[in-house]
Structure 1
Amino acid sequence: MSLIMAPPLPLVFLLMIHGRYSCAVDGHTHISPAVQLNVMYPPRSFSVSISGSGVIVEGDSVTLNCISDSNPPAELHWFKGVKFVGSGRIFSISKISSDDTGEYKCKSINEGKYSNAVTLNVMYSPRNVSVSISPSGVIVEGDSVTLNCISDSNPPAEIIWIKGGTIVGSGRIFSISKISSDDRGEYKCKSINEHGEKYSDNVSLNVMYSPRSISVLISGSGVIVEGDSVTLNCISDSNPPALNITWFKGGMFVGSGRILNISKISSDDSGEYKCKSINEHGEKYSDTVTLNVMYPPKRVSISVSIIQSGQIWAGNSVTLNCLSDSNPPALNFSWFKENEASAVGSGQRFSALQSGRFYCQAHNQHGSQRSDAISVTVLHVAGLNVIVITAASGGLFIIIIIILLLLSFIIQKKRMNRRSAINENDDPSANTYTALELKSRSSGLYDTLTSVHPKPAVHQSGSSEYGNLSLQ
């Protein structure tokens, strides 16, 4: 005989017959003790419910409920993916975080059955916000550079780019083609979603470039006076900073380093200066700057010119010119006669009408200086004024000149007397004039005399005129 297994009964029918039963004999009032009919069945209608609203935000408390219909009640375990995370009908997560995001399901240990999986999608504000730069090495002006904003958030965040305090772009990628020195600076991105926002740390774009905007700054006031200390500073914009700076005056190298110091500046330091800035990416010159050194008069001297050209007659004067080297040019000149306290004249020119030792003094706003004295000697020779000019140390020379002039006058007088005698005797073959010719007797003495006074011109009447004395 074989045993035939009946198919499982429907759950509804099982539930209907589940309960307590007793029996009695028909027609009798006695009832038997009740017995419990407990129908056993495996888990059915296996599911998971999530408490709360559909949107789960980081920090919320969440409860998962495993719904299982079985008799006896099933022993339940909870899994996140394939990882065991808890047991019991209820699985609670207080202060849920993004790490709790994932698929959850419960499992009946009795029968080894799993419920359907449910997904916990935890929303959270941006975190772990950072910026990466490509290329990551040295960035040179003209390169193309890309900044990438890395942000962890749910839902994905909106990205804004900020340079300093100014918004410069949006989107996860910020690109700069042909980067320039103007693009250097501190960059950061801001990540925003409906649950919050967060900034990345600053990243620095360090753009390398050759020197530019080279200029020279002169320390001190605008007026530079001889004896001042002057500093020239070469200002150079470059990255990396220029390590080689050279200085030029005109085309001549005069120093190196960012600072050029000139202590106790002199007029010789006046001129045009410039600096050259060099780094590994190039070089550039500054514009020139002019050092205009002011100084009081120096090298003051006197030059001499005769007012009238040609012969010197009685009453003629000599004009003295005062020369000086100064910056600004001297505009105030004073003339003095030695041993006299007050000035005898002013202006750059002075007419000397009398004998004496004269000197000039040149002035500008930075000082004054006097010249050496020169001697003006007025001689009266044959009714004429002969003016002799000598330097300060020429006292002996004046005496010699006077003696030579007197000799010249005596010789001239003798010549005229000889010529008069020859004309009276009317003897053209006479050799008297030749015998008296000074040049034939002593060429040295004659040369000396002619350098002081030219040879007189002979007129038909026998008189002579003195040539003009012109000493420059």
Structure 2
Amino acid sequence: MVMSIMLAPPPLIFLLMIHRVYSADDEWGVNYSSSYICALKGSTVIINCTYKYPTGYKIMNVFWTNTNETAKDKEHPDLFNDSEYSQRIEYLGDKHHDCTMRLTDVRQTDSHKYYFRFITDQPKWVGKHGVTLDITDLQVESSGERVTERHSVTLTCKSRCSLPDRSTFIWFKNTQSLSERTDRNNQLILQSVRRNDSGNYSCAVQGHNLTSPHQYLNVIYAPDKPVISIKPSGEIMEGDSVTLTCSSKSNPPVQIYSWFKENKTVASGQTYIISKIRSDHSGEYKCKSINELGKRYSAMNLNVLYPPKKVTASISGSGEIKEGDSVNLTCSSESNPPVQIYSWFKVNETSSVGSGQTYSITNINSSHSGWFYCEAQNEVGSQRSTAVSVNVKGNMMIFHSFIGVLILGAVVFIMMLIIW
């Protein structure tokens, strides 16, 4: 059968204008405008029909039923008395020849075959063949339930009914109307989709109080640049326990997290824990996040603070130190942050004798002889070096000069005695 459906503003009415199907009896009969009606859920359906009977009979009752002509009389329920229909069905015909019926707010449960029945003062008649009413919903179909970011996707609003070409479709995302996407065809085309296009999409036909079930559109994308966080978040001291966490937005979620230090893999997983961190843990760390669509890297510097260590004191030059020489004592150490204060001490003396990484003694004399050490200090702590010996040879030189003078004096004295 050929069918035409016309949509109109509320009240919503389906008019069925199809060639008639006649009953076999020329004297008695019911003519239905169509044998099949497809209607959207929630709309109003009008079934046009006429009936005839021989002259001389009186119409006693007319009604619509959903059981066929082969059923017994008691099995032909009057839909006007049925609680499921009584508030929605309306007889628009008469008791002569017009049997048109209107059914409003049609439901899925209304999908039946319907028959018109009339009763005269003698026989009863049910229209043969009847009218099949098919109630359909709207459905959204997608060209892909998963679409990659920056690709395009087409959503189609469909039903089993053939809707008129002039129908206007309205689209919704997460129940919010996409008014800017209202169109006069049943397709919603999203070009170069973005991740925020993900959501539940549904459609409606303008003039109908019906919205389709939603269809979820899933926009997938490669990981964003990872974000690395550190706990504790403040200064990291040698010996602390440190947790590095890598997070990256992606759809589907990140499948693999990897950690690198100086391009060498040090761990896998979203979290990297370093217990009792050492100074050699300082440096650049990279996190790599991977899903099926791609990978991204992010880097950060880990700065481990520690007090001075390996503090040593050294003396410039390797020869003997003589009175009048200049001597430099140098202090060296490792620390983070760098040493801020160097102090010099002489063993058995309570106060410092100098400051700075280099302690210079000019015009040295025997009083400078002794053991010296340095102390290096930064904001984290301090440490002392082992002591080094400063041995000034000035005392032996004076002794040798004194002996030489005595010998010379003795020689002169002896020569004078001989002359005399």
Report 1:355-370 matches (<5 A).
Answer: 355-370=369-384
Alpha-carbon distance, 1:296 to partner: 0.6
Matches of 1:374 and 1:243 in 2, distance apart?
59
Give the structure with the larger strand fraction.
Answer: 1
1:160 aligns with 2:171: yes
Report 1:386-397 matches (<5 A).
Answer: none
SS in structure 2 of the partner of residue 211 of structure 1: coil
SS in structure 1 of the partner of residue 280 of structure 2: helix
Match of 1:219 among 231, 241, 250: 231
The residue that corresponds to 1:375 in the other structure is 389
Classify 1:177/1:83 alpha carbon distance in 2 versus 1 (closer, same or farther; 3 Å).
farther
Classify 1:377/1:91 alpha carbon distance in 2 versus 1 (closer, same or farther; 3 Å).
closer
The residue that corresponds to 1:348 in the other structure is 357
The residue that corresponds to 2:249 in the other structure is 237
Classify 1:210/1:165 alpha carbon distance in 2 versus 1 (closer, same or farther; 3 Å).
same
Alpha-carbon distance, 1:366 to partner: 0.2
1:228 aligns with 2:240: yes
**Aligned residues of 1:43 and 1:69 also touching (Cα < 8 A):** yes
SS in structure 2 of the partner of residue 70 of structure 1: coil
Unaligned runs of 5+ residues in structure 2 are 1-25, 33-41, 90-102, 409-420
Matches of 2:172 and 2:287 in 1, distance apart?
40
The residue that corresponds to 2:201 in the other structure is 188
**Aligned residues of 2:369 and 2:389 also touching (Cα < 8 A):** yes
- Residue type matched to 1:239 in 2? N
Report 1:23-422 matches (<5 A).
Answer: 70-73=55-58, 83-84=68-69, 92=80, 94=86, 95-96=88-89, 97=103, 98=106, 99=110, 128-136=137-145, 139-141=147-149, 143-150=151-158, 158-163=169-174, 165=176, 167=178, 169-171=181-183, 172-183=186-197, 185-191=198-204, 193-194=206-207, 196-198=209-211, 200-286=212-298, 288-305=299-316, 314-352=323-361, 353=364, 354-380=368-394, 383=397
> Which protein has greater RCO, CA pairs closer than 8 Å, 6+ apart?
2
Alpha-carbon distance, 1:210 to partner: 3.0
Length, aligned pairs only: 328
* Larger-gyration structure (1/2): 1
SS in structure 2 of the partner of residue 344 of structure 1: strand
Classify 1:209/1:164 alpha carbon distance in 2 versus 1 (closer, same or farther; 3 Å).
farther
**Aligned residues of 2:313 and 2:332 also touching (Cα < 8 A):** yes
SS in structure 1 of the partner of residue 249 of structure 2: strand
What fraction of aligned residue pairs are identical, expressed as a percent?
A: 36
Matches of 1:145 and 1:235 in 2, distance apart?
29
Q: Deviations over 1:75-123 (max 9, x none)?
A: 77767899559999x99562224349999766788899999xx99x99x
Q: Deviations over 1:305-343 (max 9, x none)?
A: 26xx99976433312111111111112111111122222
Q: Structure 2 length normalisation: TM-score?
A: 0.61
SS in structure 2 of the partner of residue 206 of structure 1: strand
Classify 1:218/1:91 alpha carbon distance in 2 versus 1 (closer, same or farther; 3 Å).
closer
- Residue type matched to 2:263 in 1? G
**Aligned residues of 2:168 and 2:182 also touching (Cα < 8 A):** no
Matches of 2:43 and 2:320 in 1, distance apart?
120
Q: Deviations over 1:346-396 (max 9, x none)?
A: 222223440111111011110000000011111216657xxxxxxxxxxxx
**Aligned residues of 1:151 and 1:157 also touching (Cα < 8 A):** no
- Residue type matched to 2:268 in 1? S
Q: Structure 1 length normalisation: TM-score?
A: 0.55
- Residue type matched to 1:232 in 2? L
